[in-house]
Amino acid sequence: MNDTRARRAGDLNAPLNAPWLKSGSVARVLALLNANGEQARVVGGAVRNTLLGIPIGDIDIATTALPEEVVRRAKAAGIKSVPTGIVHGTVTLVIDAHPFEVTTLREDTETFGRKAKVAFGRDWVGDAKRRDFTINALSLTADGIVHDYVGGLDDIATRHVRFIGDPAQRIAEDFLRILRFFRIHAAFGAGAPDREGYLACIAGRAGLAALSAERLRMEMLKLVVTGGAVAAVTAMADGGLLLPIIGGITYTGPFAAMIGIERALDLAPDPIRRLAALAVAVTEDARRIAAKLRLSNAEAKALDSMGHRWWRLPGMDEARARQRLYRLGAERYRDRMLLAWARAGSDGDEARWRELATLPQRWQAPKFPLKAADFVARGIDAGPMLGQVLTLAEDAWLAADFPLDPAALASIADQAVGRLSRDRT
């Protein structure tokens, strides 16, 4: 944080130590655009993260050059350009397999959510002021100088996430900023959320209903895996902000417990697993949330599986747990078990829960060894009956704790055939 303290707002004399800025593809893009009267700077998250001393992700660049000029310069330099959002001033340049979003400076001329009408400009101050939060509005020139027009450096130093200008106005421009406020605070902030921003989010919560399911999904799945997710989600629940998004009851206690369990088991944060802990008590909850957030088919199936009779898992012995693992597969078994553990709270035996949750690491379910041919040889014709007898045999095999010796398997096959015959008579 020494670099941050040296850069109070308005102090542009201490170059930022950012090795990624000085060489390679970033330097090449900036050199391309910093010529013939045009300017370019790195903006947004890469600047913020570097000042905070955390890894950077995508590197976005703002420029005074018009999109057509960006494309022309890229073509002349043999650089691939993709018009990803050229109507709004964005061109993606691809250098050494690294994509860089290059956006022409903009000013809002009419504001109505994501469909704000913009005009291209050359005003760095105006471009900064149209962004959402102060810590996201810093820009960085090729010589390492950080430019701050909205107090972002002070807020970086204190990890204070604050809207630029009037929070209510910024939220009205795009109600997704409510979710972004909590996500950015959970990822980069410290302490309680900015009070003025928090109250503005509560006042504007009805606007969440106007947002598309896809945008809600994107922000929620990012939010629940941030480092400060528990405090952020609790603040949202207290402010009535989760009901318009989830559409039902939320459970902040199990949500916090799930995060603790993941950490105890050294599991990577999983957004769907955390969403289940937050909002799924039964499969109907899972289906409602999948529709509200328009989850992918895989995400919806995972959520539905976790909500399916998880309450039957507490108190299982290991033999029964092995049967569940066989039926569900390792991933589905683990996630449903973790949801049951998170819902058990302090009432459960942690050591026992750990044993059950880690069963896939200690035991791998064998494949069912009996085949259709084993029953054809016992006089069962191909068709529905063959499927029925295989199901009976598999159930008996699981109940017998997965035997593999030939005598036991022959006995299970004979008993299944006999039971099928009795059921038919």
> Tens digits of per-residue pLDDT, 202-230?
999 999 999 999 999 999 999 999 999 99
Beta bridge partners of 99: 94
Task: Give the lowest-confidence range in 14-23, 170-179, 304-313.
Answer: 14-23
Q: How many CB atoms lie within 10 A of CB 239?
A: 17
Q: 89, 104 in Cβ contact below 8 A?
A: yes
User: Counting beta carbons within 10 angstroms of the beta carbon of residue 308, is it exposed (0 to 12), middle (13 to 18) or buried (19 or more)?
Assistant: middle
Q: What is the pLDDT of residue 11?
A: 47
Can you tell me the mean pLDDT for 169-185? 97
Answer yes or no: are the C-beta atoms of 254 and 262 closer than 8 Å.
no
- Indicate if the pLDDT at residue 9 is higher than 70: no
Do residues 342 and 283 lie in contact, with contact meaning Cβ atoms separated by under 8 Å?
no
Question: pLDDT class for 22, splitting at 50, 70, 90?
Answer: confident
Higher local confidence (pLDDT), 170 or 24: 170
Q: In this structure, are residues 254 and 319 in contact, taking their beta carbons and an 8 Å threshold?
A: no
The arithmetic mean of pLDDT across residues 369-395, rounded, is 94
What is the layout of strands, in order, in the sheet containing 60-63? Answer: 80-85, 90-95, 98-104, 60-63, 40-43, 139-140, 146-147
Alpha carbons 326 and 38: distance in angstroms, whole number: 63
**For residues 246 and 279, what is the distance between their CA atoms, to the nearest angstrom?**
7
Instruction: Report the pLDDT value the prediction gives residue 113, as an integer from 0 to 100.
Output: 52
Residue linked to tokens 């096959």: 413
Output the average pLDDT for the chain: 92
Q: What is the pLDDT of residue 421?
A: 82
Q: What is the pLDDT of residue 8?
A: 42
99-103, 286-290, 421-425: least confident range = 421-425
> In this model, does residue 116 exceed pLDDT 60?
no
- For residue 117, the cross-strand partners are 110
pLDDT score at 315:
84
Q: Angle at the Cα of 164 (from 159 to 168), degrees rounded to 5? A: 115
| b/e per residue 326-360 (b: at least 16 CB within 10 A) | bebeeebbbbbbbbbbbbbeeebeeeebeebbebb
| Residue 87 scores a pLDDT above 60 | yes
* pTM attached to this predicted model: 0.88
Residue 102 in this model has a pLDDT that exceeds 70: yes
